[in-house]
Amino acid sequence: MSKAVGGRTPSVLKPGSKAPEFTLKSTPDQTVSLRDFRGRPVVIAFYPADWSPVCSDQMGLYAQVMPEFKNFDAEVLGVSVDGVWSHIAFARDRKLNFPLLSDFEPKGAVSSKYGAFNARIGESARALFVLDKKGIISWSMLSPEGVNPGADGILSALEKLK
């Protein structure tokens, strides 16, 4: 787990690691905690920014394949450093059907715990994690900045948890 400094690339937590606990805002007056989902698989999708073209495509894809995620009883959580009001507008505009969580203040604190914060640009890296029912990372991936990682890796990781 490293915090990107200068030009260094984030190094995400590897499979076998216990997923760091967190509680983040999903609306101005509501929070979501990772512990709320213990007992079922969780997909955590860290992404750089609401409204960017690649992030819009990535989050939209996850909304489209939600029925497949639900076949595995998996919960999907999107996390970026954007504020809750941006998330609310973005989710409504893109018709997202999963929570977007704000890692806004302190900026990138949760992303950093997962090794998915790029301090050089002040955004979360595009990193994916699949957690098993006990909160252990079973699969993780760091995608290049401008590349939509798709859903195939997530679905394969969820299949292996069955």
Residues with active-site annotation: 55
- Give the chain's length: 162
CA distance 123 to 81: 6
CA contacts within 13 A on the Cβ side of 100: 32
CA distance 149 to 162: 22
Question: Are 153 and 141 within 8 A, CB to CB?
Answer: yes
Question: Are 145 and 31 within 8 A, CB to CB?
Answer: no
Question: Are 140 and 127 within 8 A, CB to CB?
Answer: yes
Phi-psi region of 122 (alpha: psi -120 to 50; beta: other; left: phi over 0): left
CA distance 39 to 132: 8
